[in-house]
Structure 1
Amino acid sequence: MALLFVAAVYFARVPTEQDLTDRAEALLINIGESWAHASFEGRDAKLEGEALSEEARVKVRGELAALSGVRSIEDRTTLLPERRPFTFSVVRDGSKLHLSGYVPSRWARKRIVEAAAQMAPGVVVTGDKELTRARGVPAGDFAGVVLFGIQQLAKMPSGRVTIADNSFSIEGRAPDFASYDALEVTVRSELPTDFDLARFAVLPPAVAPFVWSAEREQDGVKLSGYIPLGDARRALLDLVRSAVPGAAISDQLRLADGSPPTQGWLKAVAFALDQLGRLPDGKVALSGTTIAIEGTAPDFASYDALAGARRNLPEGYTLTRFAVEPPTVSPFIWGVLNGASGLRLTGFAPSENAKKLALDAVRAGFPGLPVSDEMRIAAGGPPAEAWASATAFGIAQLARLRAGSVRGLATTLTISGEAVDSAAYAAVSAALSSSVPKGFALQSDVRPPVVAPYVFGMRKEGEGVTLSGFYPTVQAHEQIIEAVKRYLPGYTVNDVSALAQGAPDGFEAAARLALRELSRLDTGEVRFDDRKLRLTGTAFHAAAVAAIGEGLKQELPAGFSVDLGLDVLPRRETLEREACRMAVATLLERGRIVFTEGGARLDPVSYGLLDRVASVAAGCPDVAIEISVAHADIDPDQAAARARTVIDYLAEAGIAPERLWVGPFGTVAAQSTNRSGSDGGILLIVR
């Protein structure tokens, strides 16, 4: 009976205990206290577990005592250790995710670990087994805020979420601006209730180059590009208000990492904004450690300040673009003036570089000469390259002038002054006639050099004439050359004379007169020294010496003096008749006997020819010379008068009259040449 009683009790007890255990487990889950566990011996419960609070223990005991079939409860529960602050952290490093900290329950831990494992494909979760249950969890859905943090970490390749009591912090670096914007909006607006955002330290993407710009608009300033992390934005806005007071600010800046050191960056921004304040339509920009400035200066004071600021850049920064247009001027004028005190640059240049090229040309052309730079930069002129080229051309010519100027007006270049010497004058004249700068019109008032004393010489020797010294004008030079050809036909001209100012009045007439008398000499030289004329050489006969002296004294312009140093050519050796005839024929081939228009008076151009004929005749004492007129258009009386004039000239030159006679009108001799009506067809026939 005893054995049967024990067996009955045993087999009846086991089902009862199982039933009570199952119903107690379901109760604890339903009331949200799954941390507690109940076991039974018969109908007596043994309650175990770690409670989050004393209130939870009381709640569990009360609910379990009310469970049907429970007779007594042995409370073996304990309180979890309390943690202040109650912390939890999730750290992501690529595909690795590490969990650490406290959880309020196994259920919360399970929920967190499952979310972590599903955060990203292939993620490896560590630290899940070390998570510790503890009391002190803040109010609200603690597991939910941890899951929210894990979801944000999924948007970054690396980062950290930290929860301390009800404070939420997140840090890391966004892979791009879209992710950064999404993170910031989500974290600031969707953080679970009962939790506060303590720190949002997600870094925006690092950019390179780190660019920033400020641009003037109609009523304000537009800011674009990136701004460093921290409090740079507030400082930047203060700088804008200071540089452009009252301007509306359009802030389109993005936070970005990768900027130069913030303090240095803000100094560079302050420098750029100071320049922007001087440019009503300007724009300034930074790219890394480089600065760019562009716009149009409203006046010269602003432009000078902007140009000067380039020499005071913030430390560590360089100015890579300065595209500030200077004020526009009209008319656009400039000049380079060479005076007693040195060089002066005045007016306007189209750019700093063009002005520098002009200064380089000045220093090259005038080494060591003081230079006063009064030239300003302005718009409204020729293209900078063309301006620089034209100005350099003008300066190159100015370097050949003793004093002068190069002046520009729009696209007209005027060069004026006195040449240093004749060679310089020739070089300037050649350049002005053949090297006109492209796009420019040239005006010239370049004058030959002034020389004193004014010297000019003509030397006749052999079959040539050498011209030396100076002549006053191109026209005068041409007239002298023409006179040489007329008085000395067939002679070679060696011209080493040069153009120069300073000739005395009447110089041209005196030079032509001196050349006429020089043509009557076998050899000789004319030398002018201002108004002093010296004629030296050898005449063909004594009468020529007297005639030359008398002619010069009577015909030289007023104020000129003459000094003669003439000899007479010694008598030649006696020539045979044939030799004499050949000599005369040769002279007549080279020159003509010319009379004044419509008369019987000899043209002075014939003096030299007849003097040579007289010299030849003097060496042929046994021959006679017949003077004949062979031109049918000449009146017989006029022809006879012209022949008599030649006879009288030769007789005065020392040829005995009995050796000279007039031949019959119309005679034609072998010595005749092509004749014009001006010479009357005079023939000299040696008999």
Structure 2
Amino acid sequence: MRRAGLGLAAFAAAGALALGGAVLAVGAIESSAERSITQRLGVAGFDWVTVRADGLTVTLTGTAQDEPQRFRALSLAAETVDSARLIDAMDVDAADALAPPRFSLEILRNGNGVSLIGLVPADAGRGAIRARIRALTDGGPVTDMLETADHPAPEGWEDAVAFGLDALGRLERSKISIAADRVAVTATAESRDAQRLLEAELARTAPQGMALALDISAPRPVITPFALRFVIDDRGARFDSCAADTEEARARILAAGVAAGATGQIGCTLALGVPSPEWARAVEAGLAALGALGAGTLTFADADVTLNVPHDVDEGAFDAATARLQAALPEVFSLAAAQLPAPVEDTPVTQAARFTATLDDNGTVILGGPVGDGTSRAAVQALARARFGSAAVQSALRLDDGMPDGWPRRVMAGLEGLAGLHDGRVEVSAEALRITGRTGDREAPEIVARLLADKLGSGAAFDIAIRYDETLDPVAMAPTPERCIAQVQGILAEEKITFRPGAARIEGAAAETLDAIADVLRECGALPLEIAGHTDSQGRAEMNLALSQRRADAVRDGLAQRRVLVGEAVAVGYGQVRPIADNTTATGREANRRIEITLRTPPATVRPRDPEAEAGLEIPVTDAADDTPRPAPRP
């Protein structure tokens, strides 16, 4: 028995020893596998993988950025141990919530109809877009190539689409690209004036905060004759009219004008009708000649060139300049006339040798002076009535058979020029024709100069002193948020809106004032206004807060009833929390009882920032309100 027990013990010890060795061997294999795989993955940059060996199996855990990264880590581990031993317990980072689609709408309109291309929200009224376009185009064909996505419309999308469709209604040939934060309009206008008006109107009505890109072109005018006139006199050097056929030609001509002494803002119209591709070179030569002489007038009418200078210009310098000019002019161009007049004695111009026509602010025209015979007088009067209206013309013309040749033509040319101004005066004498006045068209001086040169001949002597006045320019003075606010402020400075004590009803004189305000705001489109009610510190806070809110609501509702677009306006009652004067005095309390109208946000990015945009409008009221925390605005 003793021997048997010792044998069993020996056997057990041997088994235990063998088991321990096996465990140690497996542990060694596990450690080796873990180290090898971890090292290999680490070298490859996969340090996010955790390797755990358990017997002959190796488990990989961790979170891969994406599926390709997980697969690559698994492949690298399989290069170290048999892939059958690998257990892939790695996760792949859950993809971020799908980014919202980039919604966009592109509208193409031409004579064949309207085409729609893009991706729009499924619930954003695709059918309504088509219906609106058909209404804008009088039922014209609409080709719908839109796709939809079942995702909410992004902020600003509806406003951008509404603005884009409104622009489409104004433009018969256009491409309008719409995104939630940007609208791009590419179109062609009928004329330069139409282009300026469209740009101003679209900029004015663009939603606040939305980027607006405008590319509206106008067809180049056809100028016949293709003309240019440059003058150097006691008023300085200037272009009375300037035309060029290309951007490069315009740049060269303007540079030559500056070299001849022109200063300030200089313009030159790009137009069709140039007599030669060498127009710019010809003009450069003419401007160089006149600049060297220092005084006179250079006129181009198609290929005919005229150089007139005062009598006191040195004759030798004049001859040298004209010789250089003749040699420098390209083919086709010719120096049709170059005159150095003989000195004349200054003599007073008699009344008998002077015709005048005066146009006032009201459009009334007074004609005076000699016109020749009865036929000439009838022709002058008929022209004046055709240009200014029969009721606006007052005639004091007289007959005089001793007028110089061409007198009626000069008089009528002067009237044609005057018709392009807001107000002004024409003076015609035996020696010259002069037009002075104001205009709201920046191009009017050039147009008048071109007209006179055409009517009287390129060598005719005339002078124009036409001043551009921004206040007469319908484009420059188009309503802007700042200008609208300023106009309303002027109304309120003259007549205040008042309420009966404890009431919020607008009536009597207050209603008339609101009528005047509405007349202004209707021309301004939807503005992001805050209509705020304020009170003095008398009375209970809760009651006065409610009163200030009701009064602000009453002003907003009153504007809406008067067809003012108030969709972007909010009404807020502040009570007494924002006093502007001392509440302990009657005068201060009266000042604190007010309604203010302000712009809630800066102007749209397509317009320059105006510091007056933050200016408020105060509408004093007649009784009290009180102190309370600010409530949420009511739409």
TM-score by shorter chain over 0.5 = no
Q: RCO higher in 1 or 2 (8 Å CA, sep ≥ 6)? A: 2
Structure (1/2) with the larger strand percentage: 1
Flag the structure with larger Rg: 1
